[in-house]
Structure 1
């Protein structure tokens, strides 16, 4: 009988378990984990020594999984390792993940409730579920093991990460966004962040059901997209900007040609006529980089009806404004900012990066004529995402861009469980864009803007 079995039997007959016994049992758990990883590494290495993976990878995935399973079973029998069926099955599955997938991350990627996976060096993996961070039991054997997984991710899309290029943005086959940063920039070891997106893209009705916005706000946003108003989506990191952009793009008519431009492709547009462009980092010699600005310029020669930029973060802001002002109406983009006013200031600062030497007033006039609406999204302290403001740009007064808020979310407090309390409501202002929507056959009812209607 093992030590663990003896402790368990002793505990069944004694209700008061001394703290020393609990510490001993935890130590045994750590020892068992260590032994398991040693066994897995041993079998994995023997498998690599015995087979040519480059040949095996030509097999269909189902057959390859079965071949690996049979080989692992054979090695376990040859080594005469005494493990039960559950442990044997877990070992086979883990080695399959090591060879074909992303190792310890595979079970997390298979969990649909997880939205973010955050690897803080090899022995600490956090996930986000329903807006809350949780520490998991998953971990890598060491930092070299984690580096192998990072290399596997980035090499699949033709990118690299090493000491000369220690930061990389990449994506998984399902569209999940990946960021990795390694030593010498990461002091304690490699760091990996994976931002996941739902397998089934969310719809506007889902956001209404989750109380991220109201039916009135959803109706107005749908009308703005259909009537080809230029829209800027603003928000902080993890606030849901890309998710909202995906949902809003669902209202673009199927007859239109859409060109998307991203640093790491993650948009999941459902239209039949979508052309996707992605930036390219410099190669080992520091050459061959293709930035977003070059893609925005090139996209204008591709006869787009709309241009969608995943995130504006540099001098491409100038080309985006010019596109919006020269016939590519209905274009959309996202930007990192805490308020709609801050979003416009950031766009102005990014235009200055284009080195056009334009006076501030001229830049603001470009912004005020190009962008119709700024939609602000926020990740609340309880982890929920909400559309907290829809503001219309109405023009210029002197050197200042004028805006008016159409819908807002007012936070009133926090309950005993940390859940945000508040409500959505209209401000009572009927927007100027209502006339444009009417021309497009999308009349907006007066009750949509009734400030007396409160949505919890």
Structure 2
């Protein structure tokens, strides 16, 4: 790169206007010393944005490190090798990545990143949330990162549109709340994309479920049962849906609908669709409900909705009731019984004018299984209920817990001691299991889960 290593005249007009200083804020932590700040500013004066754009990313780091070392020597700035490498790393992350967040994004142990202001960045590791040492320069620096994330997926975030859902290039899900709604500077919540595809085997190894429960869910997927996954925020609903999706036959046509794409389906015949927010003029919005309705015209074998939040719940039930067996979705609820109530409420939000009994009839005709997941107090995410939607008795939807997690205590290090109570009664969808000739496998899994 021609601009790296070439000393510019010190008293020129150009030196008072750094080439990329306005576009790329500096990462300055509270403990940063004046020599480090001075070195960064001097480096920015030497860096040519055009040359940065033309240089391959794998060569940019060494070039910046060389430039930092050269300037430190010229100006007699007393920094050791580690400090110089840190200055170079911060500069590269600001130019190519997401500034101070890049280190957290590269850390595979971090599952969630929560920015509550320039100097309060929390992370979740192994189910536990803690304050990190990552800092932004100021609120404007956080805002710059927000703009970069939103613009990368063709969305906008500003005072007129202060909330935004987006995704990063690696698939991580991002939510942004901008000023004036955010009182302490823009807020960023990042649910990181799992680089390793989570399978049932990994879930069993991580303590999320037992081998027998995992086998039951595999059978449910192969039997094309309609499944609702219920749980709170960050409980692992999408992760479980990805695991169940591994049982889908490669020959099936799957249509996925999400607000921000994060499903990791491995089948070859997948049609992925994502909602679109309104334009600056308030036009052009495409909602999940629009996409669900259109999906039914696309000859899908299965329809998978990332999460139902509103009136699209009615269209989801219609899809499940009209031959698209094996469809799945997630909802926010605390128990499987609450999940039924949530779906009822969401259908009513669509002003369908349907009586409650008719809505409940739709639900029991559409949904076969509800799986509840929960992030528990020891930090582990566990499946707590697997519930069969049986039918109705009077005005009440009848449910049967096939698996229910019971807590028996905890170990000295705070890990919960849990076991599953298993109900081996014949499920309402037993004929479906017989049709796919996996009814014996189902019974064997339940027998093994509750010996004696």
For residues 186 and 128 of structure 1, what CA distance do their matches in structure 2 show?
Answer: 22
Note if 1:449 corresponds to 2:446. Answer: yes
Unaligned 5+ residue runs, structure 2? Answer: 1-27
1:167 deviates by 1.3
The answer to which of 445-454 and 376-385 deviates more is 445-454
1:400 to 393, 396, 400: 396
The answer to which of 188-197 and 340-349 deviates more is 188-197
1:243 to 233, 239, 242: 239
For residues 437 and 225 of structure 1, what CA distance do their matches in structure 2 show?
Answer: 11
Give 2:362's aligned residue: 366
Give 1:208's aligned residue: 204
For residues 153 and 328 of structure 2, what CA distance do their matches in structure 1 show?
Answer: 26
1:1-400 alignment runs, 5 A limit: 34=30, 36=32, 42-54=38-50, 56-400=52-396
1:290 deviates by 0.8
The answer to which of 229-238 and 76-85 deviates more is 76-85
The answer to which of 247-256 and 438-447 deviates more is 438-447
For residues 145 and 153 of structure 1, what CA distance do their matches in structure 2 show?
Answer: 13
Contact 1:163 1:184 survives alignment (8 Å)? yes
1:441 deviates by 2.1
For residues 214 and 29 of structure 2, what CA distance do their matches in structure 1 show?
Answer: 50
1:405-416 alignment runs, 5 A limit: 405-416=401-412
The answer to which of 66-75 and 328-337 deviates more is 66-75
Change in Cα spacing, 1:337 to 1:126, as seen in structure 2 (3 Å) is same
- TM-score, normalised by the number of residues in structure 2: 0.89
- TM-score, normalised by the number of residues in structure 1: 0.88
Which deviations, in whole Å up to 9, do the C-alpha atoms of 1:57-95 show, x marking residues without a partner?
243222333443444444434433221111111111111
Contact 1:426 1:451 survives alignment (8 Å)? no
Change in Cα spacing, 1:55 to 1:287, as seen in structure 2 (3 Å) is farther
For residues 313 and 162 of structure 1, what CA distance do their matches in structure 2 show?
Answer: 24
1:198 deviates by 2.0
2:413 to 404, 411, 417: 417
Change in Cα spacing, 1:41 to 1:298, as seen in structure 2 (3 Å) is farther
Which deviations, in whole Å up to 9, do the C-alpha atoms of 1:119-154 show, x marking residues without a partner?
120111111111111222111111111111121111
Unaligned 5+ residue runs, structure 1? Answer: 1-31
Which deviations, in whole Å up to 9, do the C-alpha atoms of 1:410-452 show, x marking residues without a partner?
1123344332222113123221323311211213343433498
Contact 1:315 1:352 survives alignment (8 Å)? yes
Change in Cα spacing, 1:291 to 1:54, as seen in structure 2 (3 Å) is farther
RMSD across aligned C-alpha pairs, in angstroms?
2.1
Contact 2:61 2:89 survives alignment (8 Å)? no
For residues 67 and 383 of structure 1, what CA distance do their matches in structure 2 show?
Answer: 42
For residues 280 and 192 of structure 1, what CA distance do their matches in structure 2 show?
Answer: 20
For residues 194 and 398 of structure 2, what CA distance do their matches in structure 1 show?
Answer: 37
